[in-house]
Chains A and B, each alone.
Chain A
C-alpha cells in the first residue's frame, strides 16, 4: 500500500529539482513516438539540441522564440499567484498585436523614440482591456474566469480575422488576409545583424525582473500573494481584495498583450491570423514549470522555446514530425502537475500484511 504524508517544509533543492525532473521525464516519454516514427532516438535528441543551441543562429532563433513565451508565461504566473486563472493569454496576445498594428502601421508617424513606446503601450493596454472584462464579470457576477478568458480567445481571433479580411486588410497584400506593414519607425530593432532576435527580448527580460520585484518587494505584491494564498484572511485583514484582482488582471493582460506587440513589431512586421502558434497557451505551461516564479519563467521559457526550435530543426533533418514539440510541451505540463504531488507530499510504501507490533519502519 502507498501512503502520502504531507511535508512540513519543501527544500529549495526539491523546488528546483522537481520541475527539472518533470522536463526530463517529458523528453524521455517523447522517445516512444520518435521510435514509432522509425527514427534513432539518440540522434533525434542530438539534432534537437544542436538545432536549439548548436550555433549562433540557433541561439538567436531560440531567443526570438523565447521572447513571447517569457511574456505570456509572466502573464499566467502573475495571475495564477492571485488564484486568478487567466487562460486567455492567446486572445490578449492577438489584441496586443492588433493594437500595435493599428497604431504603428501609418496612423501616426513619429520618430522611433516616440513610436516604439507608443506601440508597446497600445499593445499592453489592449491586452489589459481584454482581461478587464472577465475580471469584472468574475467580481460582479461570479462568472468563472477560466471559462470567460478561454472563450474570449476565440472571440478575439475571429475579430482579428474579420479585421484582416475587412477594414485593416492591406490593399497591397495581393489579396492575402494580412494587415498593412508596420512603419519602420515602429519596428523593434534587431539585436544582431541578419539575426531574428529583437529588442522585444530586452523588454521581456526587464519585465520579468520588474515582476519579480513587484511580487517580492512591494505592497501590491504582498497583497497579491495574500489574496492568492487565503482570500478570506486577506479580506479580514483589510486588504482590498477586489482592487487587487482588478490590478492583477490588468497586469496579466498587459503582459500577454506585450507578447503580441513583440511578434508584430519585432519579428513579422505585419499581422496575420496565424501570428501565434499557441504562445498564449504555452505560457501557461511555462508558468507552471516555473512554479509561478517570475525569474523561473525566463528559464522555463528558454526550455520550451528550445523544444520548439530544436524539434523544427530535427524534423527537417530526419523527418520526424515537429508535432513532437507540442507533445513534449503537453507532457511536461502533465509531468509538472503530477510532480506537484511529490513536492507537497512524501510517499511511503507500507507493506500490506504488516502487523501493528512490527512497526520498525518509521517515517524518515
Chain B
C-alpha cells in the first residue's frame, strides 16, 4: 500500500481487500479511490463524520451498491485474492461477509433460533428446529460467549440481545468478515463494553471485524487499527496505538477544533417544575416525574433510548397531557397547555427527530423559520402572509447562523442534518426563551454541527435560561450539564451535581441499578 502511515508490516494474512473504490451519486462523490485491507483476527474501526462515506463503502462491500470504479477482493481457499461479484449480497454472504446493520433486519414475530437459521435451509424444509442446527448453534454460542434465549420471540428481546442475534446470524453462516454499522448507537455504556469484549474474543479466533463509528472513545478503546474517511476519501489508516483523541478528531474534520467550555455560574430562580407527573401507558409511559430547573443551569437527562424520554419531551413540548401531577412554569400552572401555549409561554423545544417533528420538509427554509410564529403580527396582517417580513427573517437567520442553502426559498428537505438543526435552533432560540428543551440535539450530527449546538445551548445558559438536555451521549452530558438525572423505565432519578457523578455510576443507573450504585 502506498499509505506511509501504514508502515507496520502485518504478519497476518489479508482476507478482504477493497481496491480503489469510487462511488458517485449524481454530482456527489460518496467514495473516492478508497483502499482498505482487512486481516484475519483484527478489529478495524472505520471512523468518519456523517456523510463521510462510511456506510456507502460498507454497502458496496456487502453488495447493496455497485462501485463505479474499483473492486472488492476476497481471499479464496488458498489465500489468493479473487474479485467478488459486485452488486450481489448473495455472493457476499457466500464469501463469508456478515453485516450487522444499524437497524436490525430481524423478523420480530419469529424466535431468535428461527431468525438465525432462516434462509440457511431450503424453503420447503419440513421442520424449523432440527436437532443438528440447534446443537451447532449452541456450540457457537458457547465458543463466542454470545448468549441469548433462542426460544424467545425477537420482539421480546432487549436491543442488546437483538444485536447478539444479528451477530450469531452472521457467525452461523460461517462469516470470516464481520461488519457492524454504528453498533453502539442503541446500547448502554456497559452493553457497549460487553459487545467489544465479545468482538475481541471473536477476533482472537481469526475473524476480521470492521465497525463503523463516529465516537472517538470507543474507537480508541476497542480497535487495533483506525481508517479515517473524510468527504469520501481515506485520509488515514494507522494503528490505534499511535492515535489519541485530538489527532483522530482533527483527521476526521480536517482542521483543529476549539472546545466550548461551560463557565461556572450560580443557578438562579426555579423556572420549570414537575411535581409528580405521570403520563402515557406501556413502554413509553413516565411515572411520578419530579424535577426543578433553575435559571442559568443545564440539567442533563441521561438514559438509554426508549425509557420514557420521548414522553417527557412531549410533556414539556405541550404535545401530551399529564394524567396526574402538575407542571409549573415560573410558578404558573401549565399542565394542560398545548404546543402553541408552551411556545408563547417561552419554552423552546428542539425535537429529538428533527426530520419528523422539526421541519416540514416540503416547505421552504423561510417557511420553516417562521412556522412557530406564523400567527404573530410580525409575519401576517389580517390573516395574509407578510412575505417581505418572512424573507427578511430568513435572510437574517441564514446569515447569522450560516445555514448552508440556496436561500430562503430552498426546500428544507434537501439540506443536511446539521443545517436542518440550524433552522430549528434559529427558530427556537433566537427569541431568547426562558426554558430550552433539547432532545438528543446532536444525534446524527457531525463534529462541527455538534459544536454549534453546544455553543448555542451554553449561550442560552449564560444569559440565564434553564436548559433541559436529554441525551444518550455521556460525553455530551458531562461536558454541558450542571446537574444530571437518569431516566429508566419511565422514572427519573433525583438530579445530582455533575461533578459528584462519574460515567460508570451514570452508566449503571441507565441500566437500572439506581440505588446500589448511587
Residues of A with Cβ closer than 8 Å to B?
5, 8-9, 217-220, 222-223, 225-226, 229-230, 232-240, 354-357, 359, 362-363
Contact = CB atoms under 8 A, between A and B. Distances in A.
9 contacts: A217-B385, A218-B385, A219-B384, A226-B371, A230-B360, A236-B358, A237-B371, A354-B66, A356-B86
A238 B66 contact: no
A356 B60 CA distance: 10
B250 interface: no
Give the 8 A-B CB pairs with smallest separation, nearest first: A238-B340, A359-B68, A356-B86, A229-B362, A238-B339, A236-B357, A230-B360, A237-B371
Interface in B16-38: 22, 24-26
Contacts of B383: 218-220
B181 interface: no
Contacts of B71: 356-357
Given A218-B383, A220-B383, A238-B338, A233 B69 contact: no
A238 B411 contact: no
A229 B372 contact: no
A230 B367 contact: no
Given A218-B383, A218-B384, A236-B357, A357 B70 contact: yes
A222, A225, A354, A357: most-surrounded residue (chain B CB, <10 A): A222
Nearest to B21: A356
Contacts of B317: 236
Interface in B356-414: 356-363, 367, 371-372, 374-375, 380, 383-385, 387, 411, 414
B86, B339, B360: most-surrounded residue (chain A CB, <10 A): B360
Contacts of B504: none
Contacts of B462: none
B360 A217 contact: no
B380 A226 contact: no
Contacts of B26: 5, 8, 363
Contacts of A232: 356-357
A233 B66 contact: no
A226 B70 contact: no
B319 interface: yes
Contact of B351 (A217, A234, A236): A236
Nearest to B353: A232
B343 A238 contact: yes
Nearest to A364: B26
Given A237-B339, A362-B24, A222 B69 contact: no
Nearest to B349: A236
B67 interface: yes
Given A9-B411, A238-B340, A356-B67, A222 B361 contact: no
A7 to B, nearest CB: 10
B356 A230 contact: yes
B87 interface: yes
A8 B66 CA distance: 21
Given A238-B372, A355-B86, A356-B67, A229 B385 contact: no
Contacts of A220: 383
Contacts of A235: 319, 339
Interface of B: 22, 24-26, 66-72, 86-87, 317-319, 338-340, 342-343, 349, 351, 356-363, 367, 371-372, 374-375, 380, 383-385, 387, 411, 414
A206 B73 CA distance: 67
Name the prevailing secondary structure of the B interface residues. Answer: mixed
A230 B340 contact: no
A73 B26 CA distance: 38
A9 B27 CA distance: 13
A234 B319 CA distance: 11
Nearest to A346: B26
A231 B260 CA distance: 36
Contact of B375 (A219, A230, A234): A219
A356 B69 contact: yes
A362 B66 CA distance: 12
Contacts of A237: 339, 343, 371-372
Nearest to B60: A356
Contacts of A356: 66-72, 86-87
A327 to B, nearest CB: 34
Contacts of B87: 356
Contacts of B384: 217-219
Contact of A226 (B25, B319, B360): B360
B361 A230 contact: yes
A219 B67 contact: no
B103 to A, nearest CB: 19
Given A219-B383, A363-B26, A234 B70 contact: no
B35 to A, nearest CB: 15
A189 B55 CA distance: 68
A176 B411 CA distance: 58
Given A236-B339, A237-B339, 10 more contacts: A8-B26, A9-B411, A217-B385, A218-B383, A219-B380, A219-B384, A226-B360, A236-B319, A237-B372, A356-B66
A363 B356 CA distance: 30
Nearest to A225: B363
B72, B367, B371: most-surrounded residue (chain A CB, <10 A): B371
A233 B360 contact: yes
A5 B25 CA distance: 9
A9, A219, A233, A357: most-surrounded residue (chain B CB, <10 A): A233
B138 to A, nearest CB: 39
Contact of A239 (B24, B356, B371): B371
A226 B367 CA distance: 9
Nearest to B20: A357
Contacts of B70: 356-357
Nearest to A223: B374
B25 A233 contact: no
Contacts of A240: 340
Contacts of A8: 26, 414
Nearest to A10: B411
A49 B281 CA distance: 63
Given A225-B363, A237-B339, A356-B69, A219 B357 contact: no
